Amino acid sequence: MLNGRTRTTAALASLALAASIGLSLSAPTSPAHAEPDIDTVRDRVERLYHEAEQASERYNDARLELAELNEEVDSLEADQARQGDALEGVRSDVRDSIIQRYQSGGLGPAGELLASDSEGFLDQLSTLSTIDGLQDSLLSDYDNELEAYDIRKDQTEQRRNDVADLQAKLAEEKETADSKLEEAEELLSRLEEEEREAILSRDGGMRAPDAASIPASGRAAVAVRYALAQVGDSYVYGAAGPNAFDCSGLTMMAWGQAGVGLPHSSSAQYGSGARVSQSELQPGDLVFYYSPISHVGIYIGNGMIVHAANPGSGVRVAAVNSMPYTGAVRPG
């Protein structure tokens, strides 16, 4: 009986082992977390670079807006100070008038009439005017100056709040750009060198022509020569030289050498000159991409642009239609 049980147990164990082997042979052998194929990584990296550039260009836009806001705040504060001086001048005139009229009239020391706050001072004037017919012009002048001062004060405070909000937006856009770039670089780090090169060269990079061969003259020639001289430099978000650029930083600096001031923003540069059609492009024209606009390059002729492409490619020459074309302008 014991031997029968032993044989039965052994047979069951053999069946279990066979089933286990069969299952292991039929199970998929791919790893639980298979690496994505090269095309998937390429598309993902390109999308991350573009999203990072979009955030970076929004950051550039916000910086321009912040500079304008700060100038406005400075102007408002100066206006507020001038209005405060005018208010104090009227207050002083009123004090002098009250002191002269009532110093010997039994109303007490003149200091009792000098309320420390503007509204209290105005209430005192109203009471005195009712009692003794104080000149209406003095009361009216003070009331007008007080209202103007309060308006300037409110405007200044609102603009200060706008500045604080915009500074928070700047930090958010910077964080977005940095995180997208970090994610792209992490994806690239998983690849072999040859695979990374295949991805980074996909944007249509072309051999840079000799600047002397480009049919440009005047300021456009200066801008083209400068931009071509930067081919091979690094792409860094927010940079404008001398050894690294983002897309609008390169175009800004190139045309700056020709004496034409451009804002450090691709979308703002779109409004910096006369619009030209693609068929009318001339060397030096600014060419814009994507909707909303988030990239810009300089046309150099023969269907080519020079541009700060992305952190993987740096400044390079590419085909004018290597990205979704939006439009072009001619600066100056």
Residues marked as catalytic: 247, 295, 307
Separation of alpha carbons 125 and 143, rounded Å: 10
Ramachandran angles phi, psi of 318, nearest 5°: -145, 170
Q: Which two tokens stand for residue 72?
A: 């406005």
Strand boundaries in 166-314, DSSP class E: 205-206, 234-235, 244-245, 273-276, 286-289, 295-301, 304-308
Separation of alpha carbons 140 and 126, rounded Å: 10
Q: Which two tokens stand for residue 200?
A: 């980074």
Separation of alpha carbons 295 and 36, rounded Å: 28
Residue 318, classed as helix, strand or coil, is strand
- By C-alpha distance, which of 64, 265, 267, 66 is closest to 166? 66
